[in-house]
Amino acid sequence: MRRKLAAGNWKMNGTAAALAELDTLAAALSGDGPQVVICPPAPLLYRAAEKAKGTGIAIGAQDCHMQEAGAFTGDISAAMIADTGARFVIVGHSERRDAHEESNRDVRAKAQRAWDAGLTAIICIGEALDDREADNTLDIIAGQLAGSLPDHATADTTVIAYEPIWAIGTGKVPTLAQIVEVHDFIRAELSHRLGAEAAESITLLYGGSVKPENAAEIFRAENVDGALVGGASLKAADFAPIIDALAAS
């Protein structure tokens, strides 16, 4: 049985006052529901991890550096993230791939470093609108998955998040058939590389304009095990219904 997971990516939003949302969210969660992960900005990681203790909410970071330590001003290592009490880290988000020109090779190195630090890496992949319109989606996904995923991935070390770039923050959402096609393809690619048993155990998330209004339909897809949520995760009142929809799926 794969674990269901709802991850909230706060991106560059929130100060210490925003951590009150963790209390509100924790109060809304049931003990046997999906795994919930909140990924706040780096300055909030330690305080978030402390506040989340005993609530069932795990804390994750939004990125890590590919090196263990060194002269990398402004960066944060996977070991530093783990030291805050966080347990997850997002790597390869399209906003990092685009704005910071991160390659598949970079993402792979970051995921490996996350594993080395005892973190679970949420590895993001997804196509741009031009790729979708040119019917190149599956080729792009195959290349990103092959290049970004280190060898020997397991359910404990790895979550895969499919986020079509053209759907992130735009309000546009692929059809259920398009989501199903890509998630089924990812599962098949993982099976070819890792073997059927390992592939079946890895959690696959969908991300891109997930809201309370569309979550239940998205979670109908067999190989969608949860969601990576952006703006709708900033407020517990918006995120909790998404988690409830996942629990009911």
Query: In which residue are the tokens 């070991």 written?
Result: 79
Q: How many CB atoms lie within 10 A of CB 231?
A: 18
Which tokens in the block code for residue 149? 């995923």
- Encode burial over 185-198: b for 16+ CB neighbours within 10 A, e otherwise: bbbebbeeebeeeb
93 is a catalytic site residue: yes
Which of 149, 137, 240, 128 minimizes the C-alpha distance to 192?
A: 149
| List of E strands, 129-202 | 158-162
Give me the catalytic one of 95, 102, 127, 163: 163
Which tokens in the block code for residue 103? 């390659």
H-state helical runs in the chain: 20-28, 45-52, 78-83, 94-99, 104-116, 129-133, 137-148, 176-194, 196-201, 215-218, 236-248
152 is a catalytic site residue: no
Strands 203-207 and 226-229: parallel
Give me the catalytic one of 21, 65, 93, 189: 93
Which of 162, 159, 172, 166 minimizes the C-alpha distance to 142?
A: 162
Give CA angle at 248 (243, 249), nearest 5°.
Answer: 100
User: Which residues are identified as catalytic?
Assistant: 93, 163
